[in-house]
Amino acid sequence: MEKILLSAPVLWAQLDANGHLRHSAYADFAAQARVQLLFDKGLTLEAMTRNHLGPILFREEITYHREVRAEDTVRVTCRLRRAREDGSRWSFEQKIYRSDEVLAATIIADGAWIDTEKRKLTKLPEAFCGIFEELEKTDDFEWME
């Protein structure tokens, strides 16, 4: 199994009318794991603010495999699928597992960086470009042109 970046209990507020983890909670867990991955590499909220940098999503696709219920704990992985060498564009594959290690969902998130002052797409500042080289990658990882 890949490295677990986030382990969190399912909260009452995250359940739908059927007692299952609601669809948007999967995306919330995945986003938190991606942010945690970047924070762990030094690209913290403070660093993003200082560099007028913010992550944006172009696409987030979730495939649901098994239900997650109340009183469960989810565990989230995050591996890089594709990226430009300058870090300006990226794609992550994430998996959400239940406590019993059953795969509950697979999430593909494609995104980029925005300059929060100019409101235009941008690349990572040079000090952070190497981050993507250090990340765990999928078996079919590729550098984008």
CATH of the domain at 92: 3.10.129.10
Say yes or no to pLDDT of 59 above 70. yes
Say yes or no to pLDDT of 122 above 70. yes
Helix (H, G, I), strand (E, B) or coil at 69: strand
Read off the pLDDT of residues 34-50 as tens digits, 9 standing for 90 and up.
999 999 999 999 999 99
Residue 1 pLDDT: 67
Instruction: Report if residue 145 sits inside a domain.
Output: no
Instruction: Report if residue 101 sits inside a domain.
Output: yes
Mean pLDDT value across the chain:
95
Residue 74: burial class (beta carbons within 10 Å; 0-12, 13-18, 19+)? buried
Instruction: Report if residue 71 sits inside a domain.
Output: yes
Read off the pLDDT of residues 18-33 as tens digits, 9 standing for 90 and up.
999 999 999 999 999 9
- HSE at residue 129, side-chain half, CA atoms within 13 A, is 8
Instruction: Report if residue 133 sits inside a domain.
Output: yes
39 is in which domain, residue-wise?
4-138
The number of distinct structural domains making up the chain is 1
Instruction: Report if residue 132 sits inside a domain.
Output: yes
Amino acid occupying residue 113: W
Residue 145 pLDDT: 86
